[in-house]
Amino acid sequence: MCRLREAARRALCDVDEVLELLVEGKLEHVSFNPDELFEGVLVSADELRAKTKVSYDGWVHSDEVALRLDISHNDAADLMRKGTLCSEHVNYRFGTVILTTKKAVDEFDRRYLSVSAIAEEKGKAAAEVVRKFGKAGVRPAIRSSCGRSLFFYRHELDP
């Protein structure tokens, strides 16, 4: 859940479209904090994207990358901005956005595995996984500069 402007940005739509969906009662995931007035209205960016989606065939947004790689939206955007995950700036609806391709995400996912995905798979805390790999001499292949995501080469991990 995020504020209207952030949700619109993540859904690649305009705030007016968000307001229209709100007024028409077409958004199911909405919350409101009356102390924050207009800024207190929170909506789901995923739901918004699904209801306002204009096809951008072949391109993948950072929110989709985050879900696929089990990392935060900010970390996914960071990987894309820095070119660690091959991506391009694309003119789209209301400005320029950074997008990648499904093929690039597939290639990245074949090569790297996030600490959060490893921890979830093993049922352990991410910090415990990092300590274990450190003791075994396995170093992260990628460290996210904006968040806590670490990636390891898949070929260096135990099967």
7 and 45, same domain (yes or no): yes
138 contacts: CB under 8 Å, gap ≥ 6: 152, 156, 157
- pLDDT per residue of the chain (159 residues) written in tens, 0 to 9: 888 888 887 777 778 888 888 888 888 888 888 887 778 889 988 888 777 765 566 788 888 899 899 888 888 988 998 889 998 887 666 667 788 998 999 999 999 999 988 888 889 998 898 899 889 888 888 886 655 678 999 988 865
Neighbours of 83 (CB within 10 A): 9
Give the number of domains in the chain: 3
d(CA 11, CA 54) in angstroms, rounded, equals: 10
pLDDT at 53: 64
Tell me the residue range of the domain where 118 lies.
109-156
114 and 138, same domain (yes or no): yes
CA of 75: how far to CAs of 52, 81, 105, in Å?
Answer: 24, 10, 14
pTM (predicted TM-score): 0.65
pLDDT at 109: 93
Read off φ and ψ for residue 3, nearest 5 degrees: -65, 160
d(CA 153, CA 82) in angstroms, rounded, equals: 18
115 and 92, same domain (yes or no): no
